[in-house]
Amino acid sequence: MSNQKDISKNFKYKNITISGLPGSGSTTLLKMLKENDTLKFAGWRGFNGGDFMRSYAKEKGLFKEQGGLHHSATDYEDEFDRKVDTGMREKLQNEEGWILESWLSGFMAQGVEGTLKVLMVCSDKAVKVDRIVNRDMVRPDDAIRNMHDRYLNNLTKWQRMYKQEWNQWVVETGKVKQSDPIDFWRDDLYDLIIDTYSANQQEVLKIVLDAIKK
């Protein structure tokens, strides 16, 4: 259970979200933060949305085995997708000490006070592909195709599902124009953008720890 007194006293933010497209290093950052002794002692805990969804997809027989490649959000129904996403937003609004990592966790944190929204990027495509090749043990061509297809499938689905929330949280608050396309990973929706091509894992960890400490 989170020690909310320690979190409120010792940290600038109550919660953290980590978002990033495949190969950006978002899952690695979550793992490092979960293993950090200072955060563990203070009661921080982590949630990986991708792992949770994959477990659900396997349980329901929806998971399409593609070697080690990850599936897209279109493999499960809208209702479950929305339940998980809105559940993350409720945690951010009502609880403390959460580190939530998923494609949409930063979007779900829009307008929620006390949340550090981290966007992970990798400016070198070859490095991103290499990370996925090594993680999933697949060929580069398959990794590139999977990255492209997952991005388009997920974006199309979520643009349809969350158009109302986009207008309410992003357009009406003046962050973007009505004519701007729905892009859940715009830099200006985040508090901290980290390029993992130019920063190593320990540097990335330090950037986030420095950002949340008072």
pLDDT in tens, 122-175: 999 999 999 999 988 889 998 899 889 999 999 999 999 999 999 999 999 999
| 9 or 166: which leads in pLDDT | 166
Burial of 54 (0-12, 13-18, 19+ CB in 10 A): middle
Q: Is the pLDDT of residue 49 over 90?
A: no
Q: pLDDT for 192-210, tens place per residue?
A: 999 999 999 999 999 999 9
Q: 107 pLDDT band (50/70/90 cuts)? A: very high
Q: Identify whether the C-beta of residue 88 lies closer than 8 Å to the C-beta of residue 47.
A: yes
192-195: strand order across its sheet = 45-48, 98-101, 15-20, 115-121, 192-195
For residue 1, the model assigns a pLDDT of 43
Per the structure, the count of domains in the chain is: 1
CATH of the domain at 140: 3.40.50.300
Specify the residue for token string 């990335």. Answer: 204
* Tens of pLDDT, residues 53-87: 665 555 556 555 545 545 566 667 898 889 889 99
pLDDT of residue 70: 53
CA distances from 127 to 18, 122, 152 (A): 20, 8, 20
Which pLDDT belongs to residue 2? 45
Domain of 59, in residue numbers? 4-212
pLDDT of residue 43: 92
Residue 25 has pLDDT above 70, yes or no: yes
**What token pair was written down for 117?**
């929204």
User: Measured between alpha carbons, how far is 9 from 20 in angstroms, rounded to an integer?
Assistant: 29
